[in-house]
Structure 1
Amino acid sequence: MKDDTVKLTLPAAGPATERPISIAIVAMGGQGGGVLTDWIVKLAENQGWVAQSTSVPGVAQRTGATIYYVEMMPPLDGRRPILAQMPTPGDVDVVLASEFMEAGRSILRGIVTPDRTTLIASNHRSLAITEKMAPGEGIADKSAVSQAIGVTARREIVFDMDALAVRNGSVISAAMFGALAGADILPFGQDDYLTVIREGGRGVEASIRTFEAAYTRATSGAAPAQTGEQPEEPPAEAATVDPRFLPLLTRLREILPDAAHAMAEAGLRKVVDYQDLDYGREYLDLLDRLHAADAEAGGAGKGHLFTVTAAKYLANAMAYDDVIRVADLKTRAQRRARIEREMGLREGQVLQTTEFMHPRMEEVNGLLPARLGRWIEARPRLFAWLDRRISKGRRIRTYTLRWFLMLYLVSSLRWLRRRSLRHEVETAHRDAWLAAATRALANNYQLGVEVLQCRRLVKGYSDTHTRGLSKFDKVVATIALLEGRADAADWARRLREAAIRDASQKQLDGTIATIKSFL
């Protein structure tokens, strides 16, 4: 078969060692990755270089970062180079990561290599969706990334660029640009970088402050002196000044061992803030009884672990999230101040907050007096009719006068809470849980502690609370089957951890099936 392909001689445009400088940027939405990319391209073009940028967006906000890629090189004899559109493993000079786990993902992708790559990364964390969704402690261990960086990168510049940017009133892209200049990889001077920022025309002063602070940090390795506007420190939780609270503290120290004082005081303040002083007295009454059971079971030789654990989880159980609590938290001045601080609000700027709320009939009915609430629950058709009118998504501008007053009115209904159907249900569930823990304690001290710790499964509001409660009931019912076994506490811990780790409950159901197989 004759080959008619025309073959042309294509001589190399330059020496084989000549190659573009390649820079990969991994940034999450809202962090200015596109701005940083444009700055780098503009930097190169201002010096007569040819630069090209591409981007591949992540799947969604915080489930995958956008990868920006820049290649640049000077033209050769007036001819423009052909540049790549995506980073190639083993061929990237600089990787800029706007968040620490994104630096880890870059390493996994193979674009950080020990023979070529300088890794510039911020070591702060912005939690991924999967980390936030975990019922328990789902935050990934960043120590693995720290160890990998030291092995896989030729050079690393890592510090908290997000905090540095916030201190200087700007965003992380300006800090990363400064760190890139400080790395001295590109053949351009500091003034060339600053020219690019000034040409941007927006937030120039704050961006320059942030750039210079990051440049200093990258070149010296030491944290620069804080400059620019400093955000206010979060206000410390104010101590209760009501003199009527002091007798409760005195009683706490009289009835509980020293080991439990700190945890019990924190719990006492929580329940009093949640409801009132009488609720604090109820908390101490319950703790007193639990401590008596602890002492009878030999808790003194175990550091009164049962009492300490009860002080923590009893307060959480008594301060459950209901409609009143949600309204109270959303109208507190401390919340507004925290949002302003996190947003970096400056003088002259106006902040508006719009929140999505989806109340169900279950939450509204739980707020009603117990007898009326049970009456409505006993009439499914009426309940469903009301639910169709209440269970709707609403966008609420929290700090407009209308909605603020409405939420503030709901938050003032604390006096109704202890008569409500929800409180009756929560109290019955709480008492059953404490009875199960006390019963287990009598025969197996550690098992009693494990039952108390199962309260970790119950948290949140609305559907989240319902799912957690379902897991809790399933775990506690299975633990009851284990009482009398020497390894009961160990299996109780496994059950709880399976329920915490697995949102789908498949792992929990598997553990329960294993337990039932040997009973």
Structure 2
Amino acid sequence: MKATPITLLVCALGGEGGGVLTEWLVEAARLAGFPAQATSIPGVAQRTGATTYYIELFPVLQSQLCGRQPVFSLSPVPGALDALVSSELLETARQIGNGMTSPERTRVLTSSARLLTTQERMQMSDGRRDPAELLKLVRAFSREHQVFDMNAVARECGTVVSAVLLGAIAGSGLFPIERRFYEEAVRGGVPHEKANASAQASLRGFAKAFEIVSQRQTQADFVSQVLKAQAMDSRLRGNDAGADGNDGRATALSVIPAEAGIHGFPPPVREFASLGYVRLADYQGRSYADLYTRRLRQVLDAETAADPQAANGHAITRETARWLALWMAFDDIVRVADLKSRASRHDRVLREVKAGEDDLVKVFDHFKPGVPEFAALLPSSLAQKLVAWDRRRIAAGKEPWAMPLKIGTHTAAGMLALRTLAAMKALRPRGSRFAFEQKMIERWLDGVVQGTKRGWALGHEVAHCGRLIKGYGATNERGKDNLLHVLDHLAVLPETEAATHAIAEARAAALADDAGQALDATLVRHGAPKREPKPQPIRFMRRPVPRESMDERRA
């Protein structure tokens, strides 16, 4: 029997019940008769630092210690952990980066769920950390590991993630504690039939995680035994491993969706093309989705001519399929009303607030549509007059016109208002915004096709420029202006290689600096003019009167 404590570090974010989890673990150890100790180090905030809980359990029953007491440590020692359990993948990687785990000793149980950091959210491009890299780190610095979406399990069982973490720990067999002691700790000592609703939900999450981890642990042990037996048999026979030409690695079969309308596209393209087709069919109908595939086929034809052997895996068409689908499904008030009035959104809200069957939930949505949102649904002639009127107001020093709205979507009237607005998507193709977006899309696609005809690398860079179009309002307009400037001044450079390099640098600069200074410097460096500055109205504000002066006047 091991004569040293079993060490466990638990990492949980704020509000996930890490303290309750620690109490459950210590109570389960006490019920089972093992001495244990837990300490905690609180984090700075919910996403800038997790609260870590350190537990040590001495794997000898208290009755067998003959009055002696083990000496426990108050803090974890890097590299001396038997297990690391975490509710968030990046937090797991952070603790690994701190040297907490050991490839020879530490077992890692982590959730694949992510809660984006502030730095990830601030990026103008996709600032998310690559989960594949995080998982690679977990594999490299753990003796064994198990990864699954603990947040999804918690939502499914109607509980918090701390109960799922407890089930994962119990299912792993880390501590010599029987399952019944864990469950008794969750119930608080009361019989199962008398446990309250919260305890029942926690037990459901515990049981689900216990089943997932214990089954995987059993499978892993079985595979390990089989491999050891095969290795022993191979040594006895004198055969080299892999002499039959099989290196033991399983072949991964990728299932690529094949939705209607995207037949004929090569496999590397179908993944994004199928998702795009479904998205646009939901957005505006089947005919609009068919327009998406027709546009995509133009790019595919150009890439096939430039790269007949598909040495680059149809990367141009794949990138175009991705950004084209997002651009064609641009956000407007009709789309927002549609998404906010769907039953799936109502169900998600109920799950997030953890509403019970007898709870009343009221949902209020706040909107502030302005002239651009209303003009988007009007024909171009009327839209121009409305926009011109608003610009005159702004030039006169007034605020842009807007209509603040507060709609109770839990009421019949509120839901009817949203569904009425969502039903106006039939008017969308007749609106000025739709016509403008289609014109811009065609301009970009023409740049992709013409660039591909000049050289594959150039077409690939122009296709990547689709990621400049994002967000809404001023951010969306700025992205379109940047794209037009790149197409008009860099994509037409006479030397194909120079144009390719210039576009790549300009795109990176535009995504890294929303003020545009880096982009302007890049444009000038490659011989292109700076972007024209846009006039901004100057508003004169009255100087606020200090409270003391107001009191003196009143006196």
TM-score (norm 1): 0.71
Correspondences of 1:324-403 after superposition (within 5 Å): 324-336=334-346, 353-355=363-365, 357-379=367-389, 380-383=391-394, 387=399, 390=402, 396-403=407-414
**Mean Cα deviation higher: 464-473 or 401-410:** 464-473
User: Which of 196, 211, 215 is the matching residue for 2:206?
Assistant: 211
**Corresponding residue number in structure 2 for 1:190:** 179
Write out per-residue CA displacement over residues 216-246 of structure 1, whole angstroms, 9 at most, x where no aligned residue.
444453589xxxxxxxxxxxx9989xxxxxx
**Corresponding residue number in structure 2 for 1:179:** 168
- 2:4 is aligned with 1:26: no
Taking the aligned partners of 2:184 and 2:346, their CA distance within structure 1 comes to 37
**Corresponding residue number in structure 2 for 1:451:** 462
C-alpha RMSD of the superposition: 4.7
Aligned residue for 2:526, secondary structure, equals: helix
How far apart are residue 363 of structure 1 and its match? 2.7
- 2:28 is aligned with 1:43: yes
**Corresponding residue number in structure 2 for 1:221:** 216
AA aligned opposite 1:24:
L
Write out per-residue CA displacement over residues 199-231 of structure 1, whole angstroms, 9 at most, x where no aligned residue.
18443334334324433444453589xxxxxxx
Q: Would the aligned equivalents of 1:58 and 1:67 in 2 still touch at CA under 8 Å?
A: no
**Corresponding residue number in structure 2 for 1:244:** none
Taking the aligned partners of 1:389 and 1:310, their CA distance within structure 2 comes to 36
How far apart are residue 327 of structure 1 and its match? 1.3
Correspondences of 1:51-450 after superposition (within 5 Å): 51-60=37-46, 62-70=47-55, 84=74, 86-90=75-79, 92-113=81-102, 117-153=106-142, 156-186=145-175, 188-199=177-188, 201-222=196-217, 270-275=279-284, 290=298, 294=302, 298=305, 301=308, 313-336=323-346, 353-355=363-365, 357-379=367-389, 380-383=391-394, 387=399, 390=402, 396-444=407-455, 446-450=457-461
Taking the aligned partners of 1:484 and 1:372, their CA distance within structure 2 comes to 44
AA aligned opposite 1:95:
L
How far apart are residue 59 of structure 1 and its match? 2.7
Shift in CA distance, 115/34, structure 1 to aligned 2, threshold 3 Å: same
Q: Would the aligned equivalents of 2:107 and 2:145 in 1 still touch at CA under 8 Å?
A: yes
Shift in CA distance, 175/427, structure 1 to aligned 2, threshold 3 Å: closer
**Corresponding residue number in structure 1 for 2:495:** 484
Q: Would the aligned equivalents of 1:164 and 1:214 in 2 still touch at CA under 8 Å?
A: yes
Taking the aligned partners of 2:350 and 2:29, their CA distance within structure 1 comes to 37
Where does the alignment leave 5 or more consecutive residues of structure 2 unmatched? 189-194, 220-256, 529-555
Aligned residue for 1:418, secondary structure, equals: helix
Q: Would the aligned equivalents of 1:21 and 1:71 in 2 still touch at CA under 8 Å?
A: yes
How far apart are residue 102 of structure 1 and its match? 1.5
Taking the aligned partners of 2:259 and 2:354, their CA distance within structure 1 comes to 27
Aligned residue for 1:26, secondary structure, equals: strand
Write out per-residue CA displacement over residues 139-165 of structure 1, whole angstroms, 9 at most, x where no aligned residue.
323344444444544554544444444
How far apart are residue 51 of structure 1 and its match? 4.0
AA aligned opposite 2:20:
V
AA aligned opposite 1:484:
E
Write out per-residue CA displacement over residues 416-457 of structure 1, whole angstroms, 9 at most, x where no aligned residue.
333433234324433433444454455345434532442222
Shift in CA distance, 194/438, structure 1 to aligned 2, threshold 3 Å: closer
Q: Would the aligned equivalents of 1:299 and 1:306 in 2 still touch at CA under 8 Å?
A: no
Shift in CA distance, 21/257, structure 1 to aligned 2, threshold 3 Å: closer
How far apart are residue 339 of structure 1 and its match? 5.8
How far apart are residue 96 of structure 1 and its match? 1.7
How far apart are residue 129 of structure 1 and its match? 4.4
Taking the aligned partners of 1:474 and 1:107, their CA distance within structure 2 comes to 44
How far apart are residue 98 of structure 1 and its match? 0.9
Taking the aligned partners of 1:378 and 1:495, their CA distance within structure 2 comes to 32
Taking the aligned partners of 1:338 and 1:113, their CA distance within structure 2 comes to 39
How far apart are residue 198 of structure 1 and its match? 0.9
User: % of aligned pairs identical?
Assistant: 30
Q: Would the aligned equivalents of 2:491 and 2:500 in 1 still touch at CA under 8 Å?
A: no
How far apart are residue 458 of structure 1 and its match? 0.9
How far apart are residue 27 of structure 1 and its match? 1.4
Shift in CA distance, 453/59, structure 1 to aligned 2, threshold 3 Å: same
Taking the aligned partners of 1:261 and 1:54, their CA distance within structure 2 comes to 49
**Corresponding residue number in structure 2 for 1:3:** none
Shift in CA distance, 25/450, structure 1 to aligned 2, threshold 3 Å: same
Aligned residue for 2:490, secondary structure, equals: helix
Shift in CA distance, 500/71, structure 1 to aligned 2, threshold 3 Å: same
How far apart are residue 410 of structure 1 and its match? 1.9
Shift in CA distance, 42/292, structure 1 to aligned 2, threshold 3 Å: closer
Q: Would the aligned equivalents of 2:451 and 2:459 in 1 still touch at CA under 8 Å?
A: yes
Write out per-residue CA displacement over residues 170-200 of structure 1, whole angstroms, 9 at most, x where no aligned residue.
4432222123234444454332212111118
Taking the aligned partners of 2:527 and 2:169, their CA distance within structure 1 comes to 59
Q: Would the aligned equivalents of 1:323 and 1:367 in 2 still touch at CA under 8 Å?
A: no
Where does the alignment leave 5 or more consecutive residues of structure 1 unmatched? 1-16, 225-236, 241-248
Q: Would the aligned equivalents of 1:22 and 1:70 in 2 still touch at CA under 8 Å?
A: yes
Aligned length: 472
Shift in CA distance, 105/387, structure 1 to aligned 2, threshold 3 Å: same
Shift in CA distance, 437/91, structure 1 to aligned 2, threshold 3 Å: closer
Aligned residue for 1:486, secondary structure, equals: helix
Q: Would the aligned equivalents of 2:375 and 2:383 in 1 still touch at CA under 8 Å?
A: yes
Write out per-residue CA displacement over residues 314-347 of structure 1, whole angstroms, 9 at most, x where no aligned residue.
5543332111122122223454456667888886
Taking the aligned partners of 2:115 and 2:428, their CA distance within structure 1 comes to 36
AA aligned opposite 1:489:
T
Q: Would the aligned equivalents of 2:510 and 2:516 in 1 still touch at CA under 8 Å?
A: yes
